[in-house]
Chain A
Amino acid sequence: MIQVEDLTKDYGTVVAVRGVSFSVGKGEIVGFLGPNGAGKSTTLRVLAGFLGATSGHVRIAGHDIAKAPLAARRALGYMPESAPLYPEMRVSEYLMFRARLKEVPRTERLRAIGGAMDRAGVSHMAGTVIAHLSKGYRQRVALADALVSNPPLLILDEPTAGLDPNQIRDVRALVKDLGSDRTVLLSTHILSEVEATCERAIVIDRGRLVAEGTIEELRARQRSTGLELRVRDPHAAAEAALTAVFGVSVRSGVTEETAPDRRRLRLGLDAALDADTVTEAVVQALTAAGIGIHALVPEQASLEQVFSALTRHEPSAAPEQSAETA
Chain B
Amino acid sequence: MSPMLIIAKREFRSYFDSPIAYIVICLSFFALGLMFFFLNGGFWQLDRASVARLFESAPMGLSFLVVPVVTMRLLAEERRSGTLEMLITLPVKDSDVVLGKYLGALGLVLILVVSTLAYPIIMFKWPWNLGPLDAGPVASGYLGMILFSAAAVAVGLLISALTESQAVAFFITFFVLGALWLFGDLASKAGGTLAIFLNYVSFQSRLNNFWRGLVDSRDVVFFLSVTALSLMVAFRALERRKWA
Contacts and interface: CB of A to CB of B under 8 A. Distances in A.
A49 B89 contact: yes
Contact of A97 (B6, B88, B93, B242): B6
B89 A74 contact: no
Contacts of A11: 244
Contact of B91 (A45, A54, A74): A74
Contacts of A73: 89-91
A89 interface: yes
B86, B90, B93, B244, most chain A CB atoms within 10 A: B86
B217 interface: no
Interface in A82-123: 82, 84-89, 97-98, 100-103
Contact of B83 (A45, A49, A74, A85): A85
B35 to A, nearest CB: 32
Contact of A101 (B6, B18, B81): B6
A76 interface: yes
B244 A12 contact: yes
B3 interface: yes
A84 B83 contact: yes
Contacts of A87: 81
Interface string A10-34: 0110000000000000000000000
Contact of A86 (B14, B89, B244): B14
A50 B85 contact: yes
B86 A80 contact: yes
B92 interface: yes
Nearest to A49: B89
Nearest to B17: A88
B82 interface: yes
B84 to A, nearest CB: 8
Contact of B85 (A54, A84, A98, A102): A84
Contact of B92 (A76, A85, A101, A145): A101
A54, A76, A80, A82, most chain B CB atoms within 10 A: A80
A90 to B, nearest CB: 9
A51 interface: yes
Nearest to B16: A88
A97 B17 contact: no
A50 B89 contact: yes
A50 B89 CA distance: 6
B151 interface: no
A166 B12 CA distance: 39
A85 B81 CA distance: 8
Nearest to A106: B1
A49 B19 CA distance: 34
B10 A97 contact: yes
Contact of A48 (B7, B81, B89): B89
Contacts of B18: 88
A70 interface: yes
Given A50-B242, A51-B243, A101-B3, 11 more contacts: A11-B244, A52-B242, A54-B243, A73-B89, A84-B83, A86-B10, A86-B14, A88-B18, A89-B14, A101-B90, A102-B91
17 contacts: A11-B244, A50-B85, A52-B243, A70-B91, A71-B91, A73-B89, A80-B85, A82-B82, A84-B83, A85-B83, A85-B86, A100-B6, A101-B6, A101-B91, A101-B92, A103-B91, A145-B86
Interface of A: 11-12, 45, 48-52, 54, 70-71, 73-74, 76, 78, 80, 82, 84-89, 97-98, 100-103, 145
